[in-house]
């Protein structure tokens, strides 16, 4: 058993070089196996929807110092991420597809890619292309509606607070309204604006490409063939 722990020698490398036809054949075989696997057990489809998020930083400059804009952007982005994964947002998909649960949607089917200020990409995976497209549209629409409603409530809340500061209304008269608006604003900034930029003819691809299957199959069989050559040579020494 010492040959298992011994370091590779020059003979090992020479043995590999001489057996180049063997591991090349196995690489081609692995690529073929990967291609066959792709067509027999194809990966899920992945549909993408895009929501444009504008935090309107230029309108925030008057109230937020320049040195804090980065932290403001990061904080507001985290809030919107929480909105995207909130129960009420994901529930819009579950209501349409009764066989799906919120847990399965979050853990298996839905993905979010967002660059803070700009295009937020929403992804949905499903064995059926049309179904994946429908799922991601519902999710993106629900997110867009929730953010717009939250920003609208935040704007109304700000207006109510200004009126209170100017003495135009009494606190006792608007206290309940303020509490309700604070709850319904979801902590979202009044400056945030969103729009669903992709709703029809969405980009739909496979979660993994044919090339990835071929590459993985070839590399796997190449690795196994190399191990086989080395171990078989060591065992006979």
Question: In this structure, are residues 232 and 11 in contact, taking their beta carbons and an 8 Å threshold?
Answer: no
Which of these, 188, 53, 179, 176, lies nearest to 112 by C-alpha position?
53
Which of these, 49, 44, 205, 203, lies nearest to 126 by C-alpha position?
44
pLDDT, one tens digit for every residue, the chain (237 residues): 455 555 556 666 676 677 778 878 888 999 999 999 999 999 999 999 999 998 877 766 566 655 566 777 888 888 899 999 999 999 989 888 878 888 889 998 999 987 777 889 999 999 999 999 999 999 999 999 999 998 888 888 877 777 767 776 666 666 777 777 777 778 888 888 899 887 778 899 999 999 999 999 999 988 888 777 766 655 445
pLDDT at 192: 86
Kind and range of the H or E run holding 202:
none
The three-state DSSP-derived secondary structure of 55-103 is CCHHHHCCCCCHHHHHHHHHHHHHHHHHHHCCHHHHHHHHHHCCCCCHH
Strand-strand pairing, 110-113 and 204-206: unpaired
Q: Report domain extents, the chain.
A: 2-41+210-236, 45-206
Q: Which residues contact 162 (CB under 8 A, 6 or more apart)?
A: none
Integer CA distances (angstroms), 31 to 156, 186, 208, 212, in order: 61, 51, 15, 10
pTM for this one? 0.79
Vertex 34 angle, CA 30 and 36, to 5°: 115
pLDDT at 200: 77
Question: In this structure, are residues 163 and 169 in contact, taking their beta carbons and an 8 Å threshold?
Answer: yes
pLDDT at 1: 47
């Amino acid at each position: 058993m010492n040959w298992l722990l011994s370091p590779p020698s020059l003979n090992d490398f020479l043995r590999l070089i001489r057996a180049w036809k063997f591991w090349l054949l196995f690489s081609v075989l692995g690529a073929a196996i990967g291609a066959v696997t792709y067509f027999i057990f194809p990966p899920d489809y992945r549909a993408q929807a895009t929501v444009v998020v504008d935090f309107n930083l230029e309108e925030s400059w008057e109230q937020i110092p320049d040195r804090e804009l980065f932290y403001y952007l990061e904080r507001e982005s985290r809030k919107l991420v929480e909105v995207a994964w909130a129960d009420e947002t994901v529930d819009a998909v579950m209501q349409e597809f009764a066989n799906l649960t919120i847990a399965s949607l979050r853990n298996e089917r839905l993905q979010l890619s967002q660059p803070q200020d700009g295009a937020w990409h929403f992804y949905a995976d499903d064995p059926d292309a049309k179904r994946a497209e429908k799922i991601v549209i519902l999710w993106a629409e629900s997110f867009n509606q929730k953010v717009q409603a939250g920003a609208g409530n935040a704007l109304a809340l700000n207006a109510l607070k200004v009126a209170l500061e100017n003495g135009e209304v009494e606190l006792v008269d608007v206290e309940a309204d303020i509490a309700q608006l604070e709850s319904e604003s979801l902590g979202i900034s009044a400056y945030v604006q969103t729009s669903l930029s992709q709703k029809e003819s969405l980009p739909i691809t496979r979660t993994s490409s044919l090339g990835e299957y071929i590459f993985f199959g070839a590399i796997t069989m190449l690795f196994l063939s190399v191990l086989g050559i080395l171990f078989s040579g060591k065992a006979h020494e």
